[in-house]
Structure 1
Amino acid sequence: MRGRPAPAPLPSTTFRDDEKVFSHGGYQLLDAIAVPRFGDTRYWPADCIGCPANRKPSDWRFVFPQDDPLINLQLREYCFALLNPSHRVLRKSLIFLSAVPLSVATINPSMMEIRKVMHWGREQGLPADLGLWDPEDWHEAIAHKASQVEGAKTVAFHLTAIRRLRQLTAVITGISAFDDPWDDETAEAIGAKAYDEDSPSRDTLATPAIPPQTWWPLLRGAWTYIHTFAPDIFRWRDHFAQQMEPRPDAPRSTSARPTRAEETDTLLEEWLSTPGNAVPVHEADYQNTNAGTPMWTALSKMVTGGRSMNIFGATNTSSRPEQRRAIVLAAIGEGRVATVKAGVGRGRGFTAPSYIAPGTGPGVTQAQLDDDVRQWLADPSTLVPVHATDDHGKAGEPIWAMAARMIWGPTPPETHRKRYAKRFDLRHRTGAARGRMLMEAVAAGRAVPVDLGVGMGWRAYPLPCPDAARIQREDGTSAPWRTQISAAELAFELHMLRAAVYVFVSALTLMRDSEVQEIQRDAVRTYFGSPAVVSRKTKMDPARPELYWWIIEPVAEALAVLEQLSWHPTHLFVALAPPTGKQPHSEPGVHSEVEIDFFINGINTIAHRHGLAKIPPSHVRSHMFRKTMAQLAGREPDSEIALGLQLKHAARRAVANRITQA
C-alpha cells in the first residue's frame, strides 16, 4: 500500500519561488554549494554560508512540516523575511529590520516556537489566522508554554518569536495584523510573571562571572596540562601508535583482493627471477601424482603471497594458466627445483602441503621465538600481564594473548588473536618452555594485574613511564606525575589535553565559543607588531570576516600543542580520532559544555595523583569566560596592573582592539 501523497504546496503572494534564501543579508556564499530557493518546501540547508565549527550540521538547516501546506508556507515566509531583512518587499511593506540578519541558530528555533503556537491553536479550535486571536488567547498560549517548560528565559524566547511574527504579518500569507497583547512589557518580565517570580532588575547580569575559587584552579590545571604534561602525552601516543603497526613478520591475509591476470603474470616473473626461489616438486609418488610433479597449489600461494591457490588451474576461457605452467616447467628444466615430501593423512585428495604465511613458518624458528621472549624479559622494567580476577580460576596466571602481543606486536585484523597465543601452548614442549619463562618472571614479582572484564583487552595493559615530568605536590615533595600508563588511560589524557586547551584559550582571548572553534592551523600571526590569533567572527555577521585577537605567549603555546593533537587538515578543535571506514567524514568542532565539564571532573578525579588543586564544583560555560575576564580588567582593585600582567602587550594595544567597544 502506498502512503498518502503530501498536499500540494501553496504559492506565496509576497516572495517568488525562484528567489535565493540567502541573498539580501550580506552573506558570504561558498563556491560549488547550491543555495536553497524559497520554493523548496521540504528543507533549506544552510551549508552555502558555511556551518560554524561549534554547530552540528543537522542543526544548520531549516526543516518545514509537510502535513499542512498553509503552515508550511507561513513558516517559510517567516524564515525568509528574517534571513533577508533588507529585501525590497519588506521595505515596501514598511517593515524595517536590522540590516544584519539574525543567525540561523536563532531563526531556526524561533520558527519552531511559532510552529508550536500554531499547533496549540489548532488543538484549542482557534482560528487559523493568528491575527484574529483575542488577547486572552495569547495569554493562555504563554501560560501553556510555561506549564511545558522550566525557566523564565525559555518563555521569554517564546514570546519574542511571537513578537517577530507580529512584526512580519504584512508579508505572511493568511495572518492579519494584530496588536501586541502585552503592550510594552519586556519579554523577561512576562516570563518571570509566568512563574510568579520577581521581575528581573535592569542591574541584574544575565551572564554571571566564574567565582575566583573556581577560576584560578581551573586555569592552573589547564596550563599544567599544556605546558608540563603535553610532551609526555605526545611521546606516549607515538609509542602506542608504533605498537599498533603490524610487524614485518606478521601473518598476511589469505582473503585479500584477488590479483588480476596481468598482475599475476608479473608476480610469477618476479618470483622466478628472485635468486634462491625454487619450484617445489613432489619427492615421491603420492596418490595419483608422480614424483617430480610441481606442487601447483603451494606454488600459487607462494607467488601471490597467499591470495590465490589456483593460478595454474586449467580453464575453458583463458590460456594463461597453461602459459604459466610452461614457464614453470622451463624453470624446472634449468634446475630450479626443490623436492618436498608431501604429508600423509591430511585429508582426502590432498596433493600439496598447506601454505604457511610469512612470519609463522620456516622463516621464524622456535629458537628465534625463544630468543624473542628472553629479550623481552631481559628489560628489568618489563611486567608480565596476569589475570586480575579469579574468573575460571585464572587469577595470577599470565594473559598469554596479551603477552604475545607485547612481544611480537599486534596481529592483523584478519588473523585470529589466539594464533600468537599458541606460541605459549603448554601442551607442546616448545610452548611450555616459553610459558615457564613468563611464569618464572611472575613468581619473581614481575607481574601486573589486568582486569579484562572492562572489555579493553590489551588497551588496559599498563606500561611503565619512568621519564614522566616531575611535579611539586602540596606537601612539598617532588614526584613524577605518572609512573605507568595504558592505552585506555592515554585516551583519557588526550581528551583532557584538548579540553585544557579549549579552557585556556577561551579564558585568555575573550573570544566567543564560535570564534574559538573556528581557529585553524597557522592561526598565530603578528598584528600591529604583537602576537595575535586570527579566526572568523560568526555571531551577528553573515559575512564571517577574519578578525584578530591579541594574545600572550602561553596562548600561542596552547595553540601549538593543539596543532600536534589535531588530525584535521584545517581546523584544530575536532574529534580525537580521524574518521573510520564506517564513518566516512567527521565535521570539525566540539561540544564546549562537554569539554569544560569533562576537564573539571577529570581534574577532581586525578588531582591527588597529578599534584593538582581540586576545582570547586560550579556551573562554568564558555560565555562566562568573557564576563570573568572583563570583570578582572574593570572591577577588581588595581585592575590596570592586573590587565598589564594578564595581557602584557595586549593592554598597550587595547585602544585599537574591538573589545574596547564593549
Structure 2
Amino acid sequence: MKWLRQKGRKPGTLMNYIVVAKFLHEIGPALALGGPAVDPWHGMSARKAAKYEVTHDLSTPTIAPKVWFPLVRAAWIYVHTFAPDVLRAMTRYQQLRAIARTSTDRSGEADEVLDAWLADPGNRIPLHDPAHSGSSLGKKHEGVNWNLLALFMGFSSSKGSGLFTAALPSGMRRREKVRAALDAGHPTTSGLIHDLVEVTRADGSVGPWHPGLDPRALTRMLVRLRDAAFCLVAALSMMRDSEIHEIRRGSVVQHYNAPAIKSHLDKGRAGRPGKHWWIIEPAAEAITLAEIVSVHDERVFSPMKRPESTEVVHGDQMIDAFINEVNSGRAWSGLDEIPEGRVRPHMFRHTMAMLTDQFPGSEIALGIQLKHVAARALANRTTQSYAAADTQWAELLETALEATRFRRFKDLYGQYKDGKPIGYGAGAERVKEVFDDIIATVKANGGDARVEDDLLRKARITIRFGMLNNCLFDEANPQGAVCRENTVIPEGHTGPLDWRCRPDRCHNSMIGVEHVPIYDSHKRTQLKLLETRRLPAARKAVIHREVERADAVLAQVMEENT
C-alpha cells in the first residue's frame, strides 16, 4: 500500500483496493487456491485504512494552461489546415485504386506504359522520406517508392509488386529506367500529392507540414485526424466522453437556429430522449471531418481498421496518440510542443466549464473568443462544481482578461475622440468625464498616442463590459450599487452581484450603443406577448414590469439623443 501511495494513487483508489483485499480474505476458504491468510486492516474500515476523507470538492483536475493552449491549437490546425491535404490524398488514393489494373494485356505492355509515363514531366516519381526511421523495412524506405510508382502507372499492388522486383531482369531494367530519369532531373514527389500546405517552423524555415503522404502515412494520418477531431470536440462542447462516442453520422444539425450536436446517450443510460449540445463552428467542423474519415456505418469515433466492430476507441488513447503525433512531427509541422501532463476527456469538460464561468472575456486558443464558446456550451447542462475557479489558471487568464478590458476601453476612447456616441446613462457620463480629462491633459502637454495609452491605464475608473450593459462598480466605493442593496453579500464575494443587476436605475450602469437594439427588441417582444388572450394576471404583471424596465433604459437613450 505504501508503494501505491508513492506512485500517486489517491485515497479513493486505495480504498477500492483495500475493499477487494478484505473481501478475498473473507471468502478465502471458498477459493480453490485460498485467499490472503490475514487481513492487514482487521477491525479497520477500508475508508479509514486508505485515509480517505469525504469532500464535496470536485476531484477532477483541470488541464494545465501550458498543455491546454498548444493542444487545442494543434487540434484546430490539424482539423482546419492540415485535414484538406489528407483528404485530397485519400481521394486520389481511392481513385488510383479504382482504376488500377491487375494484369497486362500483352508482353512488353508494362515497359510501354512506363516509357509513356516517364515521358510526361507532369508525372512525378514518388520517393520515400529519406529521414524515415523506426520501420522494420529498414533501408527499403530509401529511394523510389516502387509500389506507389506502379499505382501511379495504373497497376494494382498485386501487379505492381512484381513490376519493379529486383529478382527479375525485367524488374531491374525498369528500375534502371526510373533511376536514369531521376538523374536527368525528372520531377519527384514524396507522396500521393505534392503541394502540401506550407508552414513556418521554429527555426524560421518554410516548407510543407509533412514529409510526404504516401499510402502508409495516409493511413496513419487519417487516424490522427480522428484523434484531433475528438480533442477539439471534447474541448469546445463540454460533452462527456460517452456522449461524444455516441455521436452518429448526420448528428450536426440546426437546433433553435444554432449549430448543435445530436447525441443519443446520457451518461450511460440508453433509451432516454436524444439531446442536443449547442456548439460553435470549429466543433461542427471537427465532427464533419471525423464523419468523413470514419469507416463505421453509423458511429463517427470508431476503430479505423474494423468497420464492423462495436468496440469503442478509448478517449484517453486518442488524446495520447494525438499528443505524441504532434510532438514527434514538430520538425515538419512547426507546431508548439505539448508539454507532459495528464489529459483525459473529463478534464476537458471541467477546464472549459471553469473557463467559461470564471473568465468569459478571455481567448482560449487560436483566436476563438471564450464568450463565443460560452454562449453555446453554457446553454447545455453542466455540473455546477465544474465551474469552480482553478488556481493554476487564475493568474494567466486574469492577465488576459485585463488586457481585453483595456483594449475595449481604448476603443471607447477612440470612438469618443472621433465624436461618435459611446453610451448612455449615469455611467456613460462618468466615462466621458474621464475621457475629457485625458484629452485635455494630452493637449496641454503636447502628448502623443503613447501618452494617451499611459493615461488610459492610469485612469481611476473600473469598467466591466457585459451583454446587457457595462458596469462601473468601484470596489473602493461600493455605496450606491443597486445590486448590493437589501441583500446578503455572499461571504468572500467582491464586486457587483451580476444576477441582481438593474441597468434601468443603477448609477454604475452604462448602456452601450450595442445594447440599445437588445432593449428595443425586448420591449417589442413583451408588448407582443401582452396581446396573448387570457393571460394570467401574475404573468401580465411580470410582462408590464419588463416593459417598464426596458422603457427606463430606452428613456436614457432618448434623453441623450435629444
Q: Shift of residue 113 of structure 1? A: 9.6
The structure 2 residue matched to 1:502, chosen from 217, 230, 233, is 230
Task: Show the counterpart of 1:438.
Answer: 178
Aligned equivalents of 1:393 and 1:521: distance in 2? Answer: 42
Give the conservation status (yes or no) of the 8 Å contact 1:226–1:558: yes
The structure 1 residue matched to 2:290, chosen from 528, 552, 562, is 562
The answer to whether residue 113 in structure 2 is matched with residue 208 in structure 1 is no
Aligned equivalents of 1:594 and 1:574: distance in 2? Answer: 12
Aligned equivalents of 2:129 and 2:74: distance in 1? Answer: 35
Secondary structure (helix, strand or coil) at the match of 1:242 reads helix
Aligned equivalents of 2:256 and 2:293: distance in 1? Answer: 29
> Which amino acid in structure 1 is aligned with residue 111 of structure 2?
L
Task: Show the counterpart of 2:98.
Answer: 245
> Which amino acid in structure 2 is aligned with residue 239 of structure 1?
R
Query: Within 5 A, what are the aligned runs for 1:416-427?
Result: 417-418=161-162, 420-421=163-164, 425-426=168-169
| Deviating more after overlay: 588-597 vs 599-608 | 588-597
Return the structure number with greater relative CO, CA threshold 8 A, min gap 6.
1
Aligned equivalents of 1:395 and 1:599: distance in 2? Answer: 24
Query: Within 5 A, what are the aligned runs for 1:248-647?
Result: 248=101, 250-251=102-103, 359-361=104-106, 366=108, 369-379=111-121, 382-383=124-125, 403-412=149-158, 417-418=161-162, 420-421=163-164, 425-426=168-169, 434=174, 436-444=176-184, 462-463=190-191, 465-474=193-202, 478-482=206-210, 484-539=212-267, 541=269, 543-579=271-307, 585-587=308-310, 589-635=312-358, 638-639=359-360, 645-647=369-371
Aligned equivalents of 2:228 and 2:258: distance in 1? Answer: 24
Q: Shift of residue 559 of structure 1? A: 0.8
Deviations, residues 308-365 of structure 1 (Å, cap 9, x unaligned): xxxxxxxxxxxxxxxxxxxxxxxxxxxxxxxxxxxxxxxxxxxxxxxxxxx333xxx6
The answer to whether residue 12 in structure 2 is matched with residue 120 in structure 1 is no
Task: Show the counterpart of 1:338.
Answer: none
Q: Shift of residue 515 of structure 1? A: 0.6
Aligned equivalents of 1:370 and 1:541: distance in 2? Answer: 63
Task: Show the counterpart of 1:223.
Answer: 76
Q: Shift of residue 439 of structure 1? A: 3.6
Aligned equivalents of 1:387 and 1:531: distance in 2? Answer: 41
Deviations, residues 38-91 of structure 1 (Å, cap 9, x unaligned): xxxxxxxxxxxxxxxxxxxxxxxxxxxxxxxxxxxxxxxxxxxxxxxxxxxxxx
> Which amino acid in structure 2 is aligned with residue 437 of structure 1?
K
With over 3 angstroms needed to count, the CA separation of the structure-2 counterparts of 1:140 and 1:543, relative to structure 1, is: farther
Q: Shift of residue 564 of structure 1? A: 0.8
Aligned equivalents of 1:122 and 1:443: distance in 2? Answer: 77
Secondary structure (helix, strand or coil) at the match of 1:485 reads coil
The structure 1 residue matched to 2:50, chosen from 173, 183, 191, is 191
Aligned equivalents of 1:630 and 1:376: distance in 2? Answer: 58
Q: Shift of residue 533 of structure 1? A: 1.2
Give the conservation status (yes or no) of the 8 Å contact 1:471–1:480: yes
Give the conservation status (yes or no) of the 8 Å contact 2:129–2:142: yes
Give the conservation status (yes or no) of the 8 Å contact 2:254–2:260: yes
With over 3 angstroms needed to count, the CA separation of the structure-2 counterparts of 1:423 and 1:208, relative to structure 1, is: closer
**Count of paired positions:** 360
Give the conservation status (yes or no) of the 8 Å contact 2:86–2:222: yes
Aligned equivalents of 1:483 and 1:387: distance in 2? Answer: 6
> Which amino acid in structure 2 is aligned with residue 561 of structure 1?
L
Give the conservation status (yes or no) of the 8 Å contact 2:75–2:231: yes
Deviations, residues 375-413 of structure 1 (Å, cap 9, x unaligned): 235336633669989x9999989787765454341144x
Give the conservation status (yes or no) of the 8 Å contact 1:246–1:411: no
Aligned equivalents of 2:138 and 2:382: distance in 1? Answer: 65
Aligned equivalents of 2:220 and 2:338: distance in 1? Answer: 18
Task: Show the counterpart of 1:26.
Answer: none
Please tell me whether Structure 1 or Structure 2 has the larger radius of gyration of its CA atoms: 1
Give the conservation status (yes or no) of the 8 Å contact 1:382–1:446: yes
With over 3 angstroms needed to count, the CA separation of the structure-2 counterparts of 1:530 and 1:387, relative to structure 1, is: closer
Give the conservation status (yes or no) of the 8 Å contact 2:277–2:377: no
Aligned equivalents of 1:112 and 1:392: distance in 2? Answer: 46
> Which amino acid in structure 2 is aligned with residue 648 of structure 1?
H
Aligned equivalents of 1:406 and 1:625: distance in 2? Answer: 43
Aligned equivalents of 1:487 and 1:630: distance in 2? Answer: 40
> Which amino acid in structure 1 is aligned with residue 338 of structure 2?
I
Secondary structure (helix, strand or coil) at the match of 1:463 reads coil
Deviations, residues 405-444 of structure 1 (Å, cap 9, x unaligned): 54341144xx6943x3479953x7xx77655422422443
Aligned equivalents of 1:417 and 1:478: distance in 2? Answer: 36
TM-score (norm 1): 0.47
Aligned equivalents of 1:111 and 1:617: distance in 2? Answer: 28
Task: Show the counterpart of 2:441.
Answer: none
> Which amino acid in structure 2 is aligned with residue 626 of structure 1?
R
Secondary structure (helix, strand or coil) at the match of 1:409 reads coil
Aligned equivalents of 1:480 and 1:410: distance in 2? Answer: 28
> Which amino acid in structure 1 is aligned with residue 26 of structure 2?
G
Give the conservation status (yes or no) of the 8 Å contact 2:361–2:370: no
Higher relative helix content? 2
Secondary structure (helix, strand or coil) at the match of 1:484 reads coil
Measured on the aligned residues, the alpha-carbon RMSD in Å equals 4.4
With over 3 angstroms needed to count, the CA separation of the structure-2 counterparts of 1:521 and 1:375, relative to structure 1, is: same
Aligned equivalents of 1:550 and 1:476: distance in 2? Answer: 39
With over 3 angstroms needed to count, the CA separation of the structure-2 counterparts of 1:489 and 1:659, relative to structure 1, is: same
Give the conservation status (yes or no) of the 8 Å contact 2:28–2:36: no
With over 3 angstroms needed to count, the CA separation of the structure-2 counterparts of 1:120 and 1:517, relative to structure 1, is: same
With over 3 angstroms needed to count, the CA separation of the structure-2 counterparts of 1:627 and 1:411, relative to structure 1, is: closer
TM-score (norm 2): 0.54
Give the conservation status (yes or no) of the 8 Å contact 2:147–2:157: no
Deviations, residues 493-513 of structure 1 (Å, cap 9, x unaligned): 112111101111011111110
Give the conservation status (yes or no) of the 8 Å contact 1:385–1:447: no
| Deviating more after overlay: 210-219 vs 565-574 | 565-574
Aligned equivalents of 2:167 and 2:126: distance in 1? Answer: 13
Deviations, residues 453-507 of structure 1 (Å, cap 9, x unaligned): xxxxxxxx94263321233434566433235322111122112111101111011
> Which amino acid in structure 2 is aligned with residue 617 of structure 1?
E
Aligned equivalents of 1:518 and 1:640: distance in 2? Answer: 32
